[in-house]
Amino acid sequence: MGVRLAPVPEDEEADEPVAACNWDSLLAFLDCATQWRVGVGFGAMVWVGLDYTACDVVLRRRGYPDPDRVFADLRVMEDAALAILNSGDD
């Protein structure tokens, strides 16, 4: 996706801070950006969700320290993203 981010130190404020405890989860979500599954038919595209098998490979290969927690966070972000991606708003 070409997004470059840096964690915000806990003693600083930012417009949209990422808490240090969520940093790995955010990076993992961005690392899995190419792992979305979509369905196409009748002139429409439906975002189905992340390919969990591929995401598991990403988490293991990138060496996230707590992959179970990060995966749980990925699922929360996936759910929020699906609501937006499938909303039909352009």
pLDDT on residue 1:
46
Percent of the chain with pLDDT over 90: 67
- Whether residue 6 is contained in a domain is answered as no
Q: Mean pLDDT throughout 12-22? A: 74
- Whether residue 4 is contained in a domain is answered as no
pLDDT at residue 34 is higher than 60: yes
Instruction: Answer whether 0.85 is exceeded by the pTM.
Output: no
Q: Would you say 50 and 37 are in contact if contact means Cβ atoms under 8 Å apart?
A: yes
Dump pLDDT digits (tens) for 36-68: 999 998 888 999 999 999 999 999 999 999 999
Number of domain units in the chain: 1
* Residues contacting residue 21 through CB under 8 Å, at least 6 positions apart: none
- Whether residue 8 is contained in a domain is answered as no
Look at the alpha carbons of 34, 35, 39, 45 in this order and tell me if their dihedral is positive or negative.
Answer: negative
- Whole-angstrom distance, CA of residue 75 vs CA of residue 70: 9
- Whether residue 7 is contained in a domain is answered as no
Q: Would you say 58 and 25 are in contact if contact means Cβ atoms under 8 Å apart?
A: no
Domain membership of residue 59 as a residue range: 20-85
- Whether residue 12 is contained in a domain is answered as no
- Whether residue 54 is contained in a domain is answered as yes
- Whether residue 66 is contained in a domain is answered as yes
- Whether residue 32 is contained in a domain is answered as yes
